Amino acid sequence: MQTNTIDSSDGKRARSRLEGARYPTWFAITEGVRSALSSIWAHSFRSFLTTLGIVIGVASVIGMVSIIQGLSFAISEQLQGLGSNSITVESFTPVRERLQRRFASLTQKDLDLISYRIDGIESITPIMYLRGQSQVRYGAQTTVAQVLGTTYSFQEVGQYFSLYGRFLSDSDNRTRRRVAVIAEQVRDELALPENPVGEFIQINGEWLKIIGLPEPKGEIFGQSLDNRVMIPYSTMTSMQGNQRSPDIQIQLTIADLNNMDTIVELITRLLRSAHNLGPDDEDDFRIQTADQLRSTFSSILNNVTVVMAGIVGISLLVGGIGIMNIMLVSVTERTREIGICKAIGAKRHHILLQFLLEALVLCLLGGLVGVIIGYGIGAVAASLIPGFPPAHTPLWAVTLALGFSAVVGVVFGILPAAKAANLDPIASLRYE
């Protein structure tokens, strides 16, 4: 009785294969996919265990890529606020000089040299920082902020736009006026009014009048751009006292982006000559552009992504081996069905296509589930890390994960499919 049932079942499936053989290739493919889904559903738990390696591998890749690309996306957005035409020049002390207690610095002479000797500069400004974090006081409230001295041009170079009041002016610098522009975080921590213009704050014992509040700028590389107090450059130099050679940072913007490399090279030559550096001496300054920073961070994050994806991809290969093993078992289980198919006219390529499609569908389903789980893992992980940007899953990562799953299905499904296609129909019909 049981033999008749098996024969009847095998006969139905065999007739289905034969009907597919009489129709065009597209019908054979759709019938193969339908049969594969039916087989997967009939052995759902086994199919789940089979694709578990694929699911884990794809989920790990997508989760990891979404976290890293979210960080890369956030950094790119932050660097856009610096302006693509901006250049920053700052001092740099080589290790050997540092050990000798000799520290490099940029001075007003360097600023003047760049200003007067290089054409194509749209705006240029010096920036002088009070050493360390400075204490800022308003009434009974106190906070610690970054205090910097600069000029009117910093508004354009730093992309600061006034929300209330105005920015620093040239007359503020000429007269060493005791005025300040505070950022949003400072205003909030000092409990100042929403419009703080006209209020007085105290910095290291010096009283300054607030003349402006710019729009919030957020963070860059984990450092808040809203925890700043900006005062006139000349006022800062007077507050520094008799410091012999104050170290400044120079920021400038250029009129034509096509001249970026030329201007960077000219600045390098001028400063090396002014600092009396020999051909073998290392630069005692660093020149950075927003594009250089963006390229550097993108390169680092992309390399990390590739390495991590390669490591995690090993689990996809392990999952592929599992699928090949189960498909070989499936060929053994369905030997009699294959024999009936061949006996009633099924061609070798129909049998090959049937088992290959089953392995492919199994891998793609596992890849799809892995993408969904991986996106969830990335989003949850990013939300649990304080201050971390949201996860971002690019389309290329999803396409790559599903494509790799398909390749695994084809590569590891070809051996079982070939074994099934090469079975002898007479021997298959005698198989019990």
Q: pLDDT of 16-70, one tens digit each? A: 554 444 545 666 667 667 776 777 777 777 777 777 878 888 888 888 888 877 7
At residue 100, does pLDDT exceed 50?
yes
Cβ contact 137:210 at 8 Å: no
Q: In this structure, are 335 and 404 located in the same domain?
A: yes
Q: Helix or strand or coil: residue 287? A: strand
How buried is 402 (Cβ within 10 angstroms: 0-12 exposed, 13-18 middle, 19+ buried)? Answer: middle
Indicate the number of domains in the chain.
2
- Note the pLDDT of residue 5: 42
Residue with tokens 């200003």: 115
pTM of the model: 0.57
How buried is 125 (Cβ within 10 angstroms: 0-12 exposed, 13-18 middle, 19+ buried)? Answer: buried
Report CA-CA distances (Å) from 330 to 31, 113, 290.
Answer: 18, 79, 58
- Residue 51, H or E segment: helix 44-80
CA–CA gap between residue 352 and residue 345 (Å, rounded): 14
Q: Helix or strand or coil: residue 153? A: coil
Q: In this structure, are 192 and 336 located in the same domain?
A: no
Q: In this structure, are 33 and 91 located in the same domain?
A: no
Q: In this structure, are 56 and 168 located in the same domain?
A: no
Highest mean pLDDT pick, 191-200, 305-314, 410-419: 191-200
CA–CA gap between residue 344 and residue 206 (Å, rounded): 99
Q: Within a domain: residue 294?
A: no
How buried is 196 (Cβ within 10 angstroms: 0-12 exposed, 13-18 middle, 19+ buried)? Answer: buried
Q: Within a domain: residue 81?
A: no
Q: In this structure, are 15 and 72 located in the same domain?
A: yes
- Note the pLDDT of residue 374: 86
Which of 269, 289, 309 terminates a domain? The answer is 289
Residue 324's domain comprises: 2-76+300-430
Q: In this structure, are 248 and 171 located in the same domain?
A: yes
Q: Within a domain: residue 58?
A: yes
Lookup: tokens for 63: 């989760």
CA–CA gap between residue 305 and residue 231 (Å, rounded): 42
The better pLDDT of the pair 11, 254 is held by 254
Mean pLDDT value across residues 238-247: 70
Q: Within a domain: residue 295?
A: no
> Phi then psi for 314, rounded to 5 degrees?
-60, -35
Tell me the per-residue pLDDT of 181-225, one tens digit each, with 9 for 90 and over.
Answer: 999 999 999 999 999 999 999 988 889 999 999 988 876 655 677
Q: Within a domain: residue 114?
A: yes
Q: In this structure, are 285 and 309 located in the same domain?
A: no
Read off the pLDDT band of 2 (50, 70, 90).
Answer: very low
Mean pLDDT value across residues 238-259: 77
Q: In this structure, are 72 and 90 located in the same domain?
A: no
Which of 289, 323, 349 terminates a domain? The answer is 289
Q: Within a domain: residue 52?
A: yes
Q: In this structure, are 142 and 202 located in the same domain?
A: yes
